[in-house]
Amino acid sequence: MEHQALGDSLWVFVIIGGFIILGVAIAIAKMRNKVTPEQERMTEEATHRLYEEQSREDAARG
């Protein structure tokens, strides 16, 4: 019976450790994935240009 308790506590440790590792990995990824205001502005401008181009193409098709 003691052997089973040891196995159960090992799984609890593995699961809790996995959640902690996953949380740390997500936090690090979010910190490294910062976008500067200039990058955001350039992305927005490019998106608007693509939408306008698509609208023109759609209007030309009828």
d(CA 10, CA 3): 11
State if pTM tops 0.85: no
One DSSP character per residue, 1-62 reads -HHHHHHHHHHHHHHHHHHHHHHHHHHHHHHH----HHHHHHHHHHHHHHHHHHHHHHHHH-
Per-residue pLDDT of the chain (62 residues; tens, 9 = 90+): 556 777 788 889 999 999 999 999 999 999 998 889 999 999 999 999 999 999 999 999 97
**pLDDT at res. 55:** 94
Which amino acid would we find at residue 47? T
Which amino acid would we find at residue 57? E
Count how many Cα atoms sit within 13 Å of the Cα of residue 49 in the half-sphere of its side chain. 6
